[in-house]
């Protein structure tokens, strides 16, 4: 078994994985929420340059430039200057997501968290800087979304419309929490099937259960992303391994391996199962 960290022994990691398996999805989400808040707050405190009359705005602008790029930082600065009542709020993951979830719920949009947030719920919890969501949006829903998103998020309406036509993705930045959300459209049959096979998970206390992709489908999506990114991202590979290790007792390996062949990631799936300690070697 390949451990998540070079300085962690397999024996210690097995104990840790066993402990993680006892955590509820809601407890995992609360951990992700807490760590994200702590790390993002620490990153926000890292500023350069002389103090000015609006230090909060300057800290936020520097953070956006450092984490999301200078182009978005310029748009962010212009938007903040247009809002005299703008304030920097605690980078709370839940607060950043709720306007999106409420809008999708109102419209009946089928959506699933994917990426690092979903990996943290199924696998090993960690901080997330941005959130990936797969959502089956329709063109006629955009006017409602534009109206409701504008109160909470920074976004480019033209980029959203283009993403809808091309079935790609678009980004939202929570204007005061500074958490980015990437909305992916179901551009392939596999992504559409992920939405159809979603399952309800009690993630947020006080709300109806949130729909999430199955652990197997999420693994397959991550393997496809890993291949597309050139197979050189250790964090992505560790996300896959963490998910497989925690979910190992209940994984549908038959489905996982069959779909991996169909999606042309069978070699990566095999290696991941070996690295996760589920297989000792490739089956003959």
pLDDT of the residue at 284:
55
pLDDT of the residue at 55:
80
Residues in CB range of 177: below 8 A, 6 or more apart: 89, 90, 91, 92, 95, 96
Residues of the chain below pLDDT 70: 47-54, 207-208, 231-232, 282-284
CA distances from 271 to 113, 125, 188, 241, 275 (A): 25, 22, 25, 10, 6
- Helix 25-44 vs helix 93-107: crossing angle, to nearest 10: 120
pLDDT tens digits for 191-218?
A: 999 998 888 888 877 766 788 999 999 9
pLDDT of the residue at 233:
72
Q: What is the DSSP-derived secondary structure letter of residue 113?
A: E
Which stretches within the chain are classed as H helix?
10-20, 25-44, 55-68, 70-82, 93-107, 115-122, 142-149, 157-166, 189-196, 215-228, 234-247, 253-262, 266-275
pTM beyond 0.75, yes or no: yes
Q: What is the CATH number of domain 24-187?
A: 3.30.460
pLDDT of the residue at 283:
59
Main-chain phi, psi angles of 135, to 5 degrees:
-140, 135
Q: How far apart are CA 33 and CA 35, in angstroms?
A: 6
pLDDT of the residue at 100:
95
pLDDT tens digits for 14-27?
A: 999 999 999 999 99
Q: Any idea where the domains of the chain sit in the sequence?
A: 24-187
Q: Is the sign of the CA dihedral 211, 217, 219, 221 positive or negative?
A: negative
- Find the Cα–Cα–Cα–Cα dihedral 150, 126, 90, 99, rounded to 10°: 30
Closest of 93, 59, 52, 89 to residue 73, by C-alpha: 59
Q: What is the DSSP-derived secondary structure letter of residue 90?
A: -
Q: How far apart are CA 160 and CA 258, in angstroms?
A: 35
pLDDT of the residue at 14:
93
């Amino acid at each position: 078994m390949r451990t998540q960290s070079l300085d962690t022994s397999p024996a210690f990691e097995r104990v840790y994985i066993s402990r993680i398996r006892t955590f509820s999805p809601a407890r995992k989400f609360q951990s992700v929420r807490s760590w994200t808040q702590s790390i993002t707050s620490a990153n926000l405190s890292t500023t350069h340059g002389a103090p000015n009359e609006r230090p909060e705005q300057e800290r936020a602008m520097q953070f956006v430039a450092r984490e999301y790029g200078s182009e978005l930082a310029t748009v962010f600065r212009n938007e903040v200057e247009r809002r005299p009542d703008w304030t920097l709020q605690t980078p709370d993951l839940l607060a950043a997501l709720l306007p999106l979830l409420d809008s999708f719920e109102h419209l009946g949009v089928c959506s699933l968290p994917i990426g690092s947030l979903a990996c943290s719920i199924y696998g090993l919890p960690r901080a997330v800087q941005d959130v990936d969501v797969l959502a089956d949006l329709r063109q006629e829903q955009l006017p409602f979304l534009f109206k409701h998103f504008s109160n909470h998020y920074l976004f480019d309406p033209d980029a959203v419309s283009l993403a809808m036509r091309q079935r790609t993705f678009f980004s939202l930045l929570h204007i005061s929490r500074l958490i980015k959300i990437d909305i992916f459209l179901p551009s392939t049959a596999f992504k559409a099937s992920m939405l159809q096979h979603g399952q309800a998970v009690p993630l947020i206390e006080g709300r109806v259960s949130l729909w999430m992709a199955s652990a197997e489908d999420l693994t397959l999506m991550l393997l496809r992303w890993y291949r597309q990114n050139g197979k050189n991202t250790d964090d992505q590979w560790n996300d896959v391994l963490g998910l497989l290790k925690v979910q190992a007792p209940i994984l549908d390996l038959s489905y996982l391996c069959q779909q991996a062949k169909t999606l042309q990631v069978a070699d990566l799936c095999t290696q991941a199962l070996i690295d996760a300690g589920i297989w000792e070697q490739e089956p003959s």
